[in-house]
């Protein structure tokens, strides 16, 4: 094991046989969670090699940091690096069959009340398909664009704002008005906003309004004053709105890897303590397709023995959010990756084809 060649991806070049053995070992370990010994591997690999030979190879792989032995006389277990190599170079994905895709599609296309509801349902879906915890990040407000605004007088000094967004969503807010407005005034203000800003991001709307109009307030006619008054409050304090939904945490209790109650508690607390996970998901917004964090790669402690598989979903070319699953490091990547991938695509498709709110009713 010297004069080692390195392949493009930064992994050392290993011969066919070694690769095959590593692959078989990881698969086996994923299957039943027990350290894999030379004897077992010899049988599994179907290579007609003696355990002794296998041992030599395993020793090499351990040296390279792909495997480790929990203790002297146990078999070998993949390290994070081992999983990484397995996923990057050895994994044969199991694409979903037509029927499974159809099931997914049907469940995603079901009518929902709003964005949060949809997220919940997709999260459930991910979780039940993979037996892991499903996570769906809600559309980030920043990329939401305006479809329609309406104002509804509630009382003397209060009005209800209805924002219809491009993200399957109708949002309500109550605002306080400086003075009583008539229904007609409100109607006109809404008309103006709809004409001017439909299709733009609400962030932009806000900026445009503040910049252009506020400074010239004194010169405005009555209509424009109404518009400004309404719009300022409507778009101010845009709630941070970065949020996600987790489903199926309980599935994680069945994996021996996490059966340590203390670890599990930390993990569950991480789910509630939204800040940390959001940071992780934010990184995935950039990525183009499925992204995988193995064990400590995710960079924070609670996920120590977990892997995270994510994929962003887009609407009209814009990345709206991220979805994925969280489970033990030894999850069935060959199946989980396609599920996450396809789900993201289907969700995107569903959101895209619903410009007319198709999905509110079947």
Which partner from the list DNA, a copy of itself, none does 40 bind, CB cut-off 5 to 8 Å by kind? DNA
Chain residues 322-361 in contact with a copy of itself, contact rule CB under 8 A = 356-357, 360-361
Beta carbon of residue 353, minimum distance to a copy of itself (angstroms, whole number)? 15
Q: Please tell me what DSSP assigns to residue 36.
A: B
Which partner from the list a copy of itself, DNA, none does 174 bind, CB cut-off 5 to 8 Å by kind? a copy of itself
If one asks whether residue 265 binds a copy of itself (CB under 8 A), the answer comes out as yes
Cβ pair 342, 324 in contact under 8 A: no
Can you read off the two tokens belonging to residue 13?
Answer: 């070049």
- Residue from 13, 74, 93, 160 in contact with a copy of itself (CB under 8 A): 160
Residue with tokens 């993949």: 78
Those residues whose C-beta lies under 8 Å from the C-beta of residue 164, and which sit 6 or more positions away, are 146, 147, 148, 149, 170, 171
If one asks whether residue 2 binds a copy of itself (CB under 8 A), the answer comes out as no
Q: Give whichever of 28 and 251 is closer to a copy of itself, judged by the CB atom.
A: 251
If one asks whether residue 300 binds a copy of itself (CB under 8 A), the answer comes out as no
Q: Residue 111 half-sphere exposure, CB side, CA atoms within 13 Å?
A: 5
The partner residues of 165 in beta bridges, in order of sequence, read: 146
Binding segment for DNA among 35-43, 129-137, 161-169, 325-333 (CB under 7 A)?
35-43
Beta carbon of residue 153, minimum distance to a copy of itself (angstroms, whole number)? 10
Distance CA 324, CA 309 (A): 5
Those residues whose C-beta lies under 8 Å from the C-beta of residue 268, and which sit 6 or more positions away, are 249
Which partner from the list a copy of itself, DNA, none does 72 bind, CB cut-off 5 to 8 Å by kind? DNA
Beta carbon of residue 31, minimum distance to a copy of itself (angstroms, whole number)? 22
Those residues whose C-beta lies under 8 Å from the C-beta of residue 203, and which sit 6 or more positions away, are 141, 142, 238
If one asks whether residue 36 binds DNA (CB under 7 A), the answer comes out as yes
The partner residues of 246 in beta bridges, in order of sequence, read: 135
Using CB under 7 A, count the residues that bind DNA: 26
Chain residues 57-76 in contact with DNA, contact rule CB under 7 A = 58-59, 62, 69-76
User: Which 3-state string (H, E, C) describes 128-162?
Assistant: HHHCCEEEEECCCHHHCEEEEEEEEEEECCEEEEE
Task: Read off φ and ψ for residue 146, nearest 5 degrees.
Answer: -85, 135
Which partner from the list DNA, a copy of itself, none does 56 bind, CB cut-off 5 to 8 Å by kind? DNA
If one asks whether residue 18 binds DNA (CB under 7 A), the answer comes out as no
Distance CA 127, CA 130 (A): 5
If one asks whether residue 162 binds a copy of itself (CB under 8 A), the answer comes out as yes
Beta carbon of residue 2, minimum distance to DNA (angstroms, whole number)? 11
Q: Give whichever of 29 and 235 is closer to DNA, judged by the CB atom.
A: 29
Q: Which residue from 51, 39, 45, 53 is spatially nearest to 27, judged by alpha carbons?
A: 45
Sheet-wide strand order for 146-155: 146-155, 158-165, 170-176
Which partner from the list DNA, a copy of itself, none does 74 bind, CB cut-off 5 to 8 Å by kind? DNA
Distance CA 207, CA 205 (A): 5
The partner residues of 150 in beta bridges, in order of sequence, read: 162
Which partner from the list DNA, a copy of itself, none does 51 bind, CB cut-off 5 to 8 Å by kind? DNA
- Residue from 158, 214, 217, 279 in contact with a copy of itself (CB under 8 A): 158
Beta carbon of residue 9, minimum distance to DNA (angstroms, whole number)? 25
Chain residues 213-252 in contact with a copy of itself, contact rule CB under 8 A = 249-250
Q: Could you give the string, one character per residue 38-57, with x where binding to DNA holds by CB under 7 A and - elsewhere?
A: xxx-------xxxxxx-xx-
The partner residues of 201 in beta bridges, in order of sequence, read: 145
Q: Give whichever of 20 and 55 is closer to DNA, judged by the CB atom.
A: 55
The helix/strand/coil state of 257 is helix
- Which positions lie near a copy of itself, rule CB under 8 A? 113-114, 148, 150, 152, 154-155, 158, 160, 162, 164, 170, 172-174, 176, 249-250, 253-254, 259, 261, 264-265, 268-269, 272, 356-357, 360-361
């Amino acid at each position: 094991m010297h004069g080692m060649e390195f392949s493009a991806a930064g992994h050392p070049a290993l011969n066919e046989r070694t690769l095959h053995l590593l692959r078989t070992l990881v698969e086996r370990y994923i299957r039943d969670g027990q350290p894999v010994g030379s004897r077992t591997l010899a049988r599994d690999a179907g290579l007609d090699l003696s355990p002794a030979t296998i041992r030599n190879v395993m020793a090499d792989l351990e040296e390279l940091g792909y495997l480790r032995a929990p203790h002297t006389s146990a078999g070998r277990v993949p390290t994070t690096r081992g999983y990484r190599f397995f996923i990057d170079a050895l994994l044969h994905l199991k694409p979903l069959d037509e029927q499974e895709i159809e099931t997914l599609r049907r469940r995603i296309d079901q009518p929902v009340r709003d964005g949060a509801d949809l997220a919940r349902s997709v999260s459930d879906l991910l979780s039940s398909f993979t037996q892991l915890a499903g996570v769906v990040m809600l559309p980030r407000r920043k990329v939401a664009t305006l479809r329609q605004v309406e104002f509804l007088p509630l009382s003397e000094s209060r009005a209800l704002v209805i924002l219809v967004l491009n993200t399957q969503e109708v949002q309500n807010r109550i605002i306080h008005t400086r003075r009583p407005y008539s229904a007609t005034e409100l109607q006109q203000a809404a008309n103006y906003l709809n004409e001017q800003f439909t299709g733009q991001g609400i962030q932009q709307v806000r900026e445009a309004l503040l910049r252009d109009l506020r400074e010239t307030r004194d010169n405005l006619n009555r209509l424009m004053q109404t518009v400004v008054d309404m719009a300022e409050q409507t778009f101010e304090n845009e709630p941070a709105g970065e949020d996600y939904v987790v489903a199926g945490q309980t599935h994680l209790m069945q994996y021996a890897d996490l059966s340590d109650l203390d670890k599990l508690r930390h993990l569950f607390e991480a789910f509630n303590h939204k800040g940390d996970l959001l940071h992780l998901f934010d990184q995935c917004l950039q990525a183009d397709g499925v992204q995988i964090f193995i064990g400590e790669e995710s960079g924070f402690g609670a996920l120590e023995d977990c892997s995270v598989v994510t994929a962003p979903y887009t609407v009209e070319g814009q990345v709206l959010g991220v979805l994925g699953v969280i489970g033990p490091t030894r999850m069935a990547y060959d199946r989980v990756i396609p599920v996450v991938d396809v789900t993201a695509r289907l969700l995107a498709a569903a959101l895209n084809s619903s410009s007319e709110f198709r999905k509110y009713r079947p």
